Amino acid sequence: MKVVGRGDRSQVLVEAAEQRRKRAKTMWYRGRHTAGGGGGSQLLNAFLGKRGAFSYPKSLYSVRDCIDVAIGDQRDALVVDFFAGSGTTLHATCLLNAEDGGNRRCILVTNNEVAEAEAARLNADGFFRGDSIYEAQGIYELVTRPRCEAAVNGHRSDGEPIEGRYIDGRLCSDGFEENVEFFRLDYLDPDDIALGRKLVAILPSLWLAAGGVGNRANAEDDAPWLMTDPASYAVLLRESRFRGFRRELEKRPNVTHVWLVTDSEEAFAEMRSGLPHHLSVSMLYRDYLRNFRINTERNL
C-alpha cells in the first residue's frame, strides 16, 4: 500500500501500489551475488584499504538487486536497515540511485560491537566498553563508518582514491551525489526534555521522523520557530507567535510534519485546529516523551 495523504479528519489515505511486471526468482546464481567475490570481500577490502576487517560481507550487487526488487519503482523510498554490518545497504542504495536517478534515502542502525576475541584481549590489557581505545576496535568505527564515507566520497580514510569500477563501468573513485551524516543514540533525562533543555539533542530525531528530507533545522537564540528551506517539518517554539508561524507555513507546501511546543493540552488543541488537516501535528514535549520512552520508569 502507498500513503497518498491525509483526510479532513487526519486519517491516513492509502491506495494500492502498482503491481510490478515480474517477480524475482527464488534462487539466484549470478556470480555478482557471491559474498566472497568482487562485490563482497574484495570490494570491501578496496574501500577500507585493508583485509579481514569484516568477515563474509554481503555482495553489494545482491543487496542492490534486492532493493530493486522491493522498491525499484519507488525513487523516493526510505530504506531502513537495523543491522547495518559493513554498510552494504547504504552503498547499494547509492548505486541504485546513480543508475536510475532516484532520490532514495537510507538509514542505518548499528552498535559498535567488538569481536569476542578482541574484546577479551582489550579487557586483559585494562580497556573496557566506553574507553576510546576499546571503542576504536568496534564494527562501526572500523568498518561501517569508513566504508560509508569512502563509498560517498570516492576515497579511503587515508585520502587514497578507491581503485576499480562497479560492474556498470562507473569509477569507484567518482563517489556518489548523496551526503551522509552520523548520529549517536544516547539516553536523555525526561525531566530535561520536558523543560526544553534538550531541544538541540532531539532535533535530528524530529528531522528523521519527518522523513529526513531537506535541510535539518538548527536551534537559534530567541527564534520563535524553526523552519528550514527546503524542509518537510517545522517547530513552533513560542506559542504566542502562532499566527506568524501559520502564515509562514502557508508559504511552505513541502512541510508535512509540525511540532508545537506548549505545556497546555487546550492550547495545543486550539492551535491544531488552526492548521491544515493534512499536516501531521504533534505536541512537544509530550508526544516525544511518549514515543521514545523505553520499558523503564525513568530513562528515555
First and final C-alpha spacing in the chain: 32
Q: Is 80 exceeded by the pLDDT of residue 250?
A: yes
**146 vs 156: CA distance, rounded Å:** 7
Are the C-beta atoms of residues 127 and 133 closer than 8 Å to each other?
yes
Instruction: Provide the b/e sequence for 169-183 (b: ≥16 CB within 10 Å).
Output: eeebbebbebebeee
pLDDT band of residue 9 (cuts 50, 70, 90) is: confident
SS3 273: helix
**292 vs 188: CA distance, rounded Å:** 10
pLDDT band of residue 196 (cuts 50, 70, 90) is: confident
Q: Mean pLDDT throughout 263-288? A: 92
Query: Which amino acid makes up residue 257?
Result: H
Angle, helix 88-100 to helix 60-71, in steps of 10 degrees: 60
Mean pLDDT (the chain) is 89
Q: Is 60 exceeded by the pLDDT of residue 15?
A: yes
Alpha-carbon distances, residue 172 vs 44, 63, 99, 154, 164 (angstroms) = 12, 17, 14, 6, 6
pLDDT band of residue 217 (cuts 50, 70, 90) is: confident
Domain ranges for the chain? 2-174, 190-291
Instruction: Give per-residue pLDDT as tens, 148-191.
Output: 999 999 999 899 999 999 998 999 999 999 999 999 888 888 88
**32 vs 35: CA distance, rounded Å:** 8
What confidence score (pLDDT) does residue 300 get? 44
Q: Mean pLDDT throughout 78-101? A: 95
What confidence score (pLDDT) does residue 145 get? 96
Are the C-beta atoms of residues 81 and 107 closer than 8 Å to each other?
yes
Are the C-beta atoms of residues 77 and 61 closer than 8 Å to each other?
no
Instruction: Give per-residue pLDDT as tens, 129-155.
Output: 999 999 999 999 999 999 999 999 999
Record the pTM: 0.81
Contact partners, residue 83, CB within 8 Å, separation at least 6? 109, 110
Q: Which contacts of 162-167 are long-range, i.e. CB under 8 A and separated by 24 or more positions? A: 162/46, 162/47, 163/46, 164/43, 164/46, 166/60, 166/95, 167/32, 167/38, 167/39, 167/61
Instruction: Give per-residue pLDDT as tens, 48-66.
Output: 999 888 888 999 999 999 9
Q: Mean pLDDT throughout 273-296? A: 85
